[in-house]
Amino acid sequence: MSVMLHRILRPALKQAQLLSAIKNKQQLWRHETLVSASSACDATIRSLEDCLEVNYGGAPMWFDYVWLRDHCRSDASYNSSTNQRNLDTASIDLSIRPDNTTVQDGHLVLTWPGGHVSKYSLSWLAENSYEKNKQSTIQPRILWNSDTYKKANIPSAKWKSFMSCDDEVKNFLQNYLLYGIAFVDDVPATVEATEAVTQRVSLIRETTYGRMWCFTSDFSRGDSAYSQLGLDRHTDTSYFQEPCGIQVFHCLKHEGTGGRTLLVDGFYAAEKVRQQSPENFELLAKVPIRHEYIEKSENHRNHMTGIGPVLNVYPWNDEMYLIRYNNYDRSVINIVPHDLVRRWYVAHRELTNELRRPENELWVKLTPGKVIFIDNWRVMHGRDSFTGLRQLCGCYLTRDDVLSSARVFGLQA
């Protein structure tokens, strides 16, 4: 009951804490100078000891003086053609304060010692304030279980229009960003066509498995994926310091039974843990865990290690951006103190139980012509065991380039 009450009161408590912090800060202000803004602009500014308070549109924001000088957008300080900083940040006096502060025509205008003038749009300051960004989402997402995803009835892109029409690519990327998976149908069942369709959205990331890979259950690599065994839900390349961003699969041929693909929204399950057991979520987001890939075969010798928590969140807004979950490749837990290990296992078990709930499992039968793109930082995949010849091809894509393509289309990513 106390936990539920805490969840209900949490927003009010956060607001009270924020108001208390503001009040305390106001009590500590010294040498305050109130600067009136133009009556035509709904903004007031206040020069404080260590920062500038800007109240714009009814929302208070605070900007450090060094930050303001560092983010000057004058031609001397910033190259607007290349979007790069000209100013040497290390040359800024860390005790700098403006000599004059005004608001003119919707802009904050600062005159610095030595006469340099900086001009900032108030809307730009609001967009880039900490106060705004701590309450904003970097990448909007729709979290799902099997039922909610099916009801959303997300359309697949079609090969011909995908390869020739930018609007089709934009819609595909929007679905990918929101749900963490997206499909392209009617792709010719060849490695070459699969490569072509992936390159519409990103660069291919070459790894130890090659650039484009094509495999069957021949155990040609030291990995259980190269077998007919069923695979539990997992993310790939957890043993990389930066796991691959996007996983692409295309089933070119299957002469047998089984082999359905399992998809689970890891963020959906992790959010359930955050709601039910915040302390367990915090453990999974802070305790570093080592994953390892060791391959000793006649043709391949590799030893890769990646270290990081199971969950990764942005520290300013608590938004999740990466889950690293692979029980096959998790290495010896030897960088966690003994009094924390059992608590981590409890948290890991809660997450695993959520991931394994049948209602969270989306099963898809990949057939020749259907290419799936999976956000490997969010959505886990697995498979049924199967019989007969099953040939898959695919690749990894660089996450940065997929997100770049989305932003070029004007999507939030």
CATH number at residue 48: 3.30.2020.30
Given this model, what pLDDT does residue 298 score?
Answer: 80
**Which amino acid type is present at position 90?**
A
Stretches where the chain sits below pLDDT 70 are: 1-41, 217-227
- Asked, for residue 118, whether it belongs to a domain, the answer is yes
Same domain, 95 and 241: no
Q: How far is it, in rounded angstroms, from Cα 157 to Cα 176?
A: 11
What residues make up the domain containing 334?
A: 146-408
Q: How far is it, in rounded angstroms, from Cα 366 to Cα 374?
A: 13
Same domain, 222 and 107: no
Given this model, what pLDDT does residue 356 score?
Answer: 98
The count of structural domains within the chain is: 2
Beta bridge partners of 277: none
Beta strands at 181-185 and 157-158: parallel, antiparallel or unpaired: parallel
Q: Which of 215, 220, 350 is nearest to 281 (CA)?
A: 350
Same domain, 111 and 190: no
Same domain, 231 and 305: yes
Same domain, 190 and 328: yes
Same domain, 165 and 229: yes
**Which amino acid type is present at position 67?**
W
Give the Å distances, CA to CA, from 396 to 10, 237, 350.
41, 10, 30
Given this model, what pLDDT does residue 92 score?
Answer: 98
Same domain, 80 and 105: yes
Same domain, 231 and 332: yes
Given this model, what pLDDT does residue 9 score?
Answer: 40
Q: How far is it, in rounded angstroms, from Cα 377 to Cα 263?
A: 13
Q: How far from chain centre, in Å, is Cα 226?
A: 29
- Asked, for residue 4, whether it belongs to a domain, the answer is no
- Asked, for residue 386, whether it belongs to a domain, the answer is yes
Give the chain's radius of gyration (CA, Å): 26
Give the Å distances, CA to CA, from 119 to 73, 86, 107, 129, 180.
7, 16, 6, 16, 40
Handedness of CA 164, 166, 169, 171 (dihedral sign): negative
Contact 239, 292 (CB under 8 A): yes
Domain end call among 133, 161, 181: 133
Domain end call among 133, 159, 182: 133
- Asked, for residue 194, whether it belongs to a domain, the answer is yes
SS3 of residue 145 by DSSP: coil
Q: How far is it, in rounded angstroms, from Cα 15 to Cα 131?
A: 13
Burial group, residue 279, by CB count within 10 angstroms (0-12, 13-18, 19+): exposed
Same domain, 152 and 290: yes
Same domain, 287 and 223: yes
HEC assignment per residue over 336-376: CCHHHHHHHHHHHHHHHHHHCCHHHCEEECCCCCCEEEEEC
- Asked, for residue 14, whether it belongs to a domain, the answer is no
Same domain, 202 and 243: yes
User: What CATH number does the domain containing 196 carry?
Assistant: 3.60.130.10
Domain end call among 65, 99, 133: 133
Q: At what angle do helices 338-355 and 278-286 cross, to 10 degrees?
A: 110
Kind and range of the H or E run holding 196: helix 191-198
Beta bridge partners of 264: 380
Residue 262, token pair as written in the block = 């399992």
Same domain, 208 and 85: no
Q: How far is it, in rounded angstroms, from Cα 25 to Cα 32?
A: 12
**Number of other CB atoms surrounding residue 38 within 10 Å:** 12
- Asked, for residue 293, whether it belongs to a domain, the answer is yes
SS3 of residue 184 by DSSP: strand
- Asked, for residue 272, whether it belongs to a domain, the answer is yes
Contact 326, 291 (CB under 8 A): yes
- Asked, for residue 9, whether it belongs to a domain, the answer is no
